[in-house]
Structure 1
Amino acid sequence: MRMHRLVLYTCLVILIAAAVGYAQMVTRPYRNGSVWTMTFVHTHSGMTNAYMTYLTTDWKREQEALKQQGMILSYKVLTTESHTGADWDVLLMTEYKDLATMEANEAKADALTTSLLGGDPKVEQGYRDRSAIRDIVGERLAREIILQPRTP
Protein backbone atom coordinates (compact mmCIF):
# COMPACT_ATOMS: atom_id res chain seq x y z
CA MET A 1 0.00 0.00 0.00
CA ARG A 2 2.78 2.38 0.92
CA MET A 3 4.63 1.53 -2.26
CA HIS A 4 1.50 2.24 -4.29
CA ARG A 5 1.19 5.70 -2.77
CA LEU A 6 4.87 6.44 -3.33
CA VAL A 7 4.64 5.47 -7.00
CA LEU A 8 1.42 7.45 -7.37
CA TYR A 9 2.92 10.58 -5.76
CA THR A 10 6.10 10.26 -7.83
CA CYS A 11 4.09 10.00 -11.05
CA LEU A 12 1.97 12.97 -9.99
CA VAL A 13 5.06 15.11 -9.27
CA ILE A 14 6.61 14.18 -12.63
CA LEU A 15 3.36 14.96 -14.43
CA ILE A 16 3.04 18.36 -12.72
CA ALA A 17 6.69 19.21 -13.46
CA ALA A 18 6.23 18.29 -17.12
CA ALA A 19 3.05 20.38 -17.35
CA VAL A 20 4.77 23.40 -15.77
CA GLY A 21 7.75 23.00 -18.12
CA TYR A 22 5.50 22.75 -21.16
CA ALA A 23 3.49 25.79 -20.08
CA GLN A 24 6.68 27.83 -19.68
CA MET A 25 7.95 27.06 -23.19
CA VAL A 26 7.96 30.22 -25.25
CA THR A 27 6.19 29.82 -28.54
CA ARG A 28 7.50 32.28 -31.07
CA PRO A 29 4.83 33.77 -33.34
CA TYR A 30 7.11 33.19 -36.33
CA ARG A 31 9.54 30.70 -37.80
CA ASN A 32 12.79 31.12 -39.65
CA GLY A 33 12.67 31.18 -43.42
CA SER A 34 15.31 31.38 -46.10
CA VAL A 35 18.47 33.52 -46.02
CA TRP A 36 19.07 36.43 -48.40
CA THR A 37 22.28 38.17 -49.44
CA MET A 38 21.62 41.75 -50.43
CA THR A 39 24.01 43.98 -52.35
CA PHE A 40 23.27 47.72 -52.44
CA VAL A 41 24.55 49.32 -55.64
CA HIS A 42 24.90 52.97 -56.67
CA THR A 43 25.06 53.34 -60.44
CA HIS A 44 27.03 56.30 -61.70
CA SER A 45 25.15 59.13 -63.37
CA GLY A 46 23.87 58.05 -66.79
CA MET A 47 25.14 54.47 -66.34
CA THR A 48 22.01 52.69 -65.13
CA ASN A 49 21.27 51.12 -68.53
CA ALA A 50 24.87 49.96 -68.88
CA TYR A 51 24.66 48.26 -65.49
CA MET A 52 21.27 46.74 -66.33
CA THR A 53 22.86 45.28 -69.46
CA TYR A 54 25.42 43.51 -67.26
CA LEU A 55 22.65 42.28 -64.93
CA THR A 56 20.56 40.88 -67.78
CA THR A 57 23.54 39.05 -69.28
CA ASP A 58 26.40 37.79 -67.09
CA TRP A 59 24.79 38.26 -63.67
CA LYS A 60 21.53 36.60 -64.69
CA ARG A 61 23.39 33.74 -66.39
CA GLU A 62 25.38 33.19 -63.20
CA GLN A 63 22.25 33.27 -61.01
CA GLU A 64 20.37 30.87 -63.30
CA ALA A 65 23.29 28.41 -63.26
CA LEU A 66 23.44 28.54 -59.45
CA LYS A 67 19.69 28.02 -59.29
CA GLN A 68 19.83 25.10 -61.72
CA GLN A 69 22.53 23.45 -59.56
CA GLY A 70 20.36 23.88 -56.46
CA MET A 71 22.80 26.26 -54.77
CA ILE A 72 20.28 29.13 -54.59
CA LEU A 73 16.49 29.26 -54.50
CA SER A 74 15.87 32.54 -56.32
CA TYR A 75 17.17 36.02 -57.06
CA LYS A 76 15.69 39.49 -57.48
CA VAL A 77 16.69 42.95 -58.67
CA LEU A 78 14.96 45.98 -57.16
CA THR A 79 15.45 49.58 -58.21
CA THR A 80 14.66 52.86 -56.51
CA GLU A 81 15.57 56.50 -56.89
CA SER A 82 18.71 57.82 -55.20
CA HIS A 83 18.15 60.58 -52.68
CA THR A 84 21.80 61.59 -52.47
CA GLY A 85 24.79 61.23 -54.74
CA ALA A 86 26.05 58.24 -52.76
CA ASP A 87 22.69 56.52 -52.13
CA TRP A 88 21.99 53.07 -53.61
CA ASP A 89 19.56 52.74 -56.51
CA VAL A 90 19.82 49.02 -57.32
CA LEU A 91 19.38 46.17 -54.85
CA LEU A 92 20.56 42.68 -55.82
CA MET A 93 19.05 39.87 -53.75
CA THR A 94 19.95 36.18 -53.78
CA GLU A 95 17.93 33.66 -51.76
CA TYR A 96 19.47 30.58 -50.11
CA LYS A 97 17.65 27.76 -48.32
CA ASP A 98 19.60 28.46 -45.12
CA LEU A 99 23.01 29.55 -43.84
CA ALA A 100 24.37 26.01 -43.85
CA THR A 101 23.51 25.56 -47.54
CA MET A 102 25.00 28.93 -48.44
CA GLU A 103 28.28 28.19 -46.66
CA ALA A 104 28.51 24.58 -47.85
CA ASN A 105 28.19 25.60 -51.51
CA GLU A 106 30.49 28.64 -51.42
CA ALA A 107 33.52 26.98 -53.07
CA LYS A 108 31.35 25.19 -55.67
CA ALA A 109 29.55 28.44 -56.50
CA ASP A 110 32.87 30.28 -56.98
CA ALA A 111 34.16 27.52 -59.26
CA LEU A 112 30.93 27.50 -61.28
CA THR A 113 30.98 31.28 -61.70
CA THR A 114 34.63 31.32 -62.74
CA SER A 115 34.13 28.62 -65.37
CA LEU A 116 30.86 30.15 -66.59
CA LEU A 117 32.38 33.59 -67.10
CA GLY A 118 35.58 32.40 -68.77
CA GLY A 119 38.20 32.08 -66.02
CA ASP A 120 39.83 34.31 -63.44
CA PRO A 121 41.27 36.94 -65.82
CA LYS A 122 37.84 37.58 -67.38
CA VAL A 123 36.15 37.69 -63.97
CA GLU A 124 38.74 40.22 -62.74
CA GLN A 125 38.35 42.32 -65.90
CA GLY A 126 34.59 42.29 -65.37
CA TYR A 127 35.09 43.69 -61.86
CA ARG A 128 37.28 46.48 -63.26
CA ASP A 129 34.79 47.28 -66.04
CA ARG A 130 31.84 47.44 -63.64
CA SER A 131 33.71 49.71 -61.23
CA ALA A 132 33.56 52.39 -63.95
CA ILE A 133 29.75 52.32 -63.97
CA ARG A 134 28.75 51.52 -60.37
CA ASP A 135 29.84 51.45 -56.73
CA ILE A 136 28.93 48.83 -54.15
CA VAL A 137 27.44 50.83 -51.26
CA GLY A 138 27.08 47.88 -48.89
CA GLU A 139 26.10 44.28 -48.40
CA ARG A 140 23.82 42.61 -45.88
CA LEU A 141 22.83 39.10 -44.92
CA ALA A 142 19.22 38.74 -43.77
CA ARG A 143 16.93 35.94 -42.68
CA GLU A 144 13.35 35.89 -43.88
CA ILE A 145 10.82 35.55 -41.08
CA ILE A 146 7.62 33.59 -41.72
CA LEU A 147 4.83 35.14 -39.65
CA GLN A 148 3.37 31.84 -38.58
CA PRO A 149 4.21 29.81 -35.46
CA ARG A 150 6.21 26.64 -35.91
CA THR A 151 4.00 23.64 -35.34
CA PRO A 152 5.35 21.26 -32.67
Structure 2
Amino acid sequence: MKNVLIATTLLILSFNLFAADKPYTLGTVWEVSYIKVNDGKLEDYLTNLNSGYYAIYEEYKAKGWITSYKAIGFPRNNPDDWNLMLLTEYPNWATFDRKEEEWEAVVEQVFKNKQSEDASNGERESIRTLWGSKVGRELIPVISD
Protein backbone atom coordinates (compact mmCIF):
# COMPACT_ATOMS: atom_id res chain seq x y z
CA MET A 1 0.00 0.00 0.00
CA LYS A 2 2.85 2.34 0.86
CA ASN A 3 4.37 1.75 -2.61
CA VAL A 4 1.08 2.67 -4.29
CA LEU A 5 0.91 5.88 -2.28
CA ILE A 6 4.49 6.80 -3.22
CA ALA A 7 3.88 5.98 -6.89
CA THR A 8 0.67 8.03 -6.94
CA THR A 9 2.40 10.99 -5.28
CA LEU A 10 5.26 10.84 -7.80
CA LEU A 11 2.79 10.66 -10.67
CA ILE A 12 0.89 13.71 -9.44
CA LEU A 13 4.14 15.62 -8.94
CA SER A 14 5.29 14.72 -12.45
CA PHE A 15 2.01 16.03 -13.93
CA ASN A 16 2.47 19.28 -12.01
CA LEU A 17 6.06 19.62 -13.19
CA PHE A 18 5.05 18.91 -16.79
CA ALA A 19 2.23 21.44 -16.59
CA ALA A 20 4.58 24.06 -15.15
CA ASP A 21 6.66 23.88 -18.35
CA LYS A 22 3.75 24.95 -20.53
CA PRO A 23 3.31 28.63 -21.39
CA TYR A 24 -0.42 28.38 -20.62
CA THR A 25 -2.98 26.83 -18.32
CA LEU A 26 -6.25 25.35 -19.53
CA GLY A 27 -9.31 27.53 -19.09
CA THR A 28 -12.96 27.19 -19.94
CA VAL A 29 -14.44 25.88 -23.19
CA TRP A 30 -15.84 28.37 -25.72
CA GLU A 31 -18.26 27.92 -28.60
CA VAL A 32 -17.87 30.66 -31.19
CA SER A 33 -20.47 31.13 -33.95
CA TYR A 34 -20.01 33.45 -36.92
CA ILE A 35 -23.22 35.01 -38.21
CA LYS A 36 -23.92 37.09 -41.31
CA VAL A 37 -26.98 39.17 -40.40
CA ASN A 38 -28.79 40.62 -43.41
CA ASP A 39 -28.40 44.36 -44.03
CA GLY A 40 -30.70 46.41 -41.83
CA LYS A 41 -31.75 43.38 -39.75
CA LEU A 42 -29.28 43.42 -36.86
CA GLU A 43 -31.77 44.88 -34.38
CA ASP A 44 -34.42 42.37 -35.50
CA TYR A 45 -31.94 39.54 -35.02
CA LEU A 46 -30.94 40.74 -31.55
CA THR A 47 -34.62 41.16 -30.62
CA ASN A 48 -35.15 37.54 -31.67
CA LEU A 49 -32.23 36.44 -29.49
CA ASN A 50 -33.68 38.38 -26.56
CA SER A 51 -37.07 36.67 -26.92
CA GLY A 52 -35.83 33.10 -26.64
CA TYR A 53 -32.16 32.37 -27.09
CA TYR A 54 -31.00 34.48 -24.15
CA ALA A 55 -33.77 33.18 -21.87
CA ILE A 56 -32.58 29.66 -22.61
CA TYR A 57 -28.99 30.63 -21.89
CA GLU A 58 -29.99 32.30 -18.61
CA GLU A 59 -31.55 29.01 -17.55
CA TYR A 60 -28.40 27.14 -18.64
CA LYS A 61 -26.36 29.58 -16.52
CA ALA A 62 -28.63 29.03 -13.51
CA LYS A 63 -28.06 25.28 -13.86
CA GLY A 64 -24.28 25.77 -14.16
CA TRP A 65 -24.18 24.34 -17.69
CA ILE A 66 -22.71 27.54 -19.15
CA THR A 67 -20.62 30.24 -17.56
CA SER A 68 -21.36 33.19 -19.84
CA TYR A 69 -22.52 34.23 -23.28
CA LYS A 70 -22.17 37.33 -25.42
CA ALA A 71 -22.72 38.80 -28.84
CA ILE A 72 -20.11 40.99 -30.52
CA GLY A 73 -20.88 43.07 -33.61
CA PHE A 74 -18.27 43.70 -36.30
CA PRO A 75 -18.11 45.81 -39.44
CA ARG A 76 -18.01 43.76 -42.62
CA ASN A 77 -14.84 43.59 -44.72
CA ASN A 78 -16.95 42.82 -47.79
CA PRO A 79 -20.67 42.32 -48.56
CA ASP A 80 -20.48 38.55 -47.96
CA ASP A 81 -18.60 38.78 -44.65
CA TRP A 82 -20.05 37.81 -41.25
CA ASN A 83 -20.82 40.70 -38.90
CA LEU A 84 -21.83 39.11 -35.60
CA MET A 85 -20.01 36.70 -33.34
CA LEU A 86 -21.90 34.74 -30.69
CA LEU A 87 -19.79 33.32 -27.87
CA THR A 88 -20.87 30.79 -25.28
CA GLU A 89 -18.58 29.82 -22.40
CA TYR A 90 -18.87 26.36 -20.83
CA PRO A 91 -17.16 25.42 -17.57
CA ASN A 92 -15.45 22.35 -19.09
CA TRP A 93 -15.69 19.64 -21.75
CA ALA A 94 -17.77 17.42 -19.43
CA THR A 95 -20.70 19.79 -19.91
CA PHE A 96 -21.11 18.37 -23.42
CA ASP A 97 -21.71 14.89 -21.98
CA ARG A 98 -25.13 16.00 -20.75
CA LYS A 99 -28.00 14.14 -22.39
CA GLU A 100 -29.66 15.93 -25.31
CA GLU A 101 -33.03 15.58 -23.55
CA GLU A 102 -31.79 17.76 -20.67
CA TRP A 103 -30.84 20.62 -23.02
CA GLU A 104 -34.10 20.24 -24.97
CA ALA A 105 -36.19 20.32 -21.78
CA VAL A 106 -34.93 23.85 -21.08
CA VAL A 107 -35.76 24.94 -24.64
CA GLU A 108 -39.28 23.52 -24.25
CA GLN A 109 -39.67 25.27 -20.88
CA VAL A 110 -38.77 28.66 -22.39
CA PHE A 111 -40.79 28.40 -25.59
CA LYS A 112 -43.77 26.60 -24.00
CA ASN A 113 -44.64 24.84 -27.29
CA LYS A 114 -43.01 23.59 -30.46
CA GLN A 115 -44.85 26.09 -32.65
CA SER A 116 -43.36 29.14 -30.92
CA GLU A 117 -39.89 27.56 -30.99
CA ASP A 118 -40.24 26.85 -34.72
CA ALA A 119 -41.52 30.38 -35.37
CA SER A 120 -38.54 31.90 -33.54
CA ASN A 121 -36.10 29.65 -35.39
CA GLY A 122 -37.73 30.47 -38.73
CA GLU A 123 -37.61 34.20 -38.09
CA ARG A 124 -33.93 33.99 -37.14
CA GLU A 125 -33.05 31.87 -40.15
CA SER A 126 -34.77 34.30 -42.52
CA ILE A 127 -32.56 37.23 -41.46
CA ARG A 128 -29.18 35.59 -41.05
CA THR A 129 -26.71 33.08 -42.43
CA LEU A 130 -24.74 30.92 -40.03
CA TRP A 131 -21.18 30.82 -41.35
CA GLY A 132 -20.19 28.16 -38.89
CA SER A 133 -19.23 27.42 -35.32
CA LYS A 134 -16.17 26.14 -33.54
CA VAL A 135 -15.60 24.89 -30.03
CA GLY A 136 -12.24 25.25 -28.33
CA ARG A 137 -10.50 25.50 -24.98
CA GLU A 138 -9.20 28.79 -23.66
CA LEU A 139 -5.42 28.85 -23.22
CA ILE A 140 -4.54 31.25 -20.42
CA PRO A 141 -0.99 32.59 -20.73
CA VAL A 142 1.43 31.93 -17.89
CA ILE A 143 3.49 35.05 -17.35
CA SER A 144 6.82 34.22 -15.79
CA ASP A 145 8.92 36.72 -13.87
Task: Report the TM range for the smaller structure's normalisation.
Answer: 0.7 to 0.9
Give the structure 2 partner of residue 28 of structure 1.
22
* Cα offsets for 1:13-52 (capped at 9, x unmatched): xxxxx9xxx6x95721211110011111111111111011
**In structure 1, the residue corresponding to 2:72 is in which secondary structure?**
strand
Whether 1:73 aligns to 2:34 is: no
Give me the TM-score of the superposition, normalised by structure 2: 0.78
Identity of aligned residues (%): 26
Give the superposition deviation at 1:83: 1.5
Give the superposition deviation at 1:146: 1.3
Q: Which consecutive residues of structure 2, in runs of 5 or more, have no partner in the other structure?
A: 1-9
Q: 2:125 is matched by which residue type in structure 1? A: S
Give the structure 2 partner of residue 100 of structure 1.
94
Aligned counterparts of 1:55 and 1:128: Cα–Cα separation in 2:
12
Preserved contact between residue 35 and residue 131 of structure 2 (Cα < 8 Å): yes
Preserved contact between residue 81 and residue 89 of structure 1 (Cα < 8 Å): yes
**In structure 2, the residue corresponding to 1:66 is in which secondary structure?**
helix
Give the superposition deviation at 1:128: 1.3
1:109 equivalent among 94, 99, 103: 103
What RMSD over aligned residues (CA atoms) do the two structures have, in Å?
A: 2.1
Whether 1:51 aligns to 2:45 is: yes
Give the structure 2 partner of residue 41 of structure 1.
35
Preserved contact between residue 87 and residue 137 of structure 1 (Cα < 8 Å): no
Aligned counterparts of 1:25 and 1:75: Cα–Cα separation in 2:
32
**In structure 2, the residue corresponding to 1:130 is in which secondary structure?**
helix
Preserved contact between residue 71 and residue 105 of structure 1 (Cα < 8 Å): no
Give the superposition deviation at 1:115: 2.0
Preserved contact between residue 67 and residue 89 of structure 2 (Cα < 8 Å): yes
**In structure 1, the residue corresponding to 2:30 is in which secondary structure?**
strand
Give me the TM-score of the superposition, normalised by structure 1: 0.75
Give the structure 2 partner of residue 147 of structure 1.
141
Give the structure 2 partner of residue 130 of structure 1.
124
Larger Rg computed on CA atoms: 1
Q: 1:79 is matched by which residue type in structure 2? A: G
- Residues matched between the structures, number: 128
Q: Which consecutive residues of structure 1, in runs of 5 or more, have no partner in the other structure?
A: 1-17
Preserved contact between residue 52 and residue 120 of structure 2 (Cα < 8 Å): no
Q: Which moved more, 1:128-137 or 1:24-33?
A: 24-33
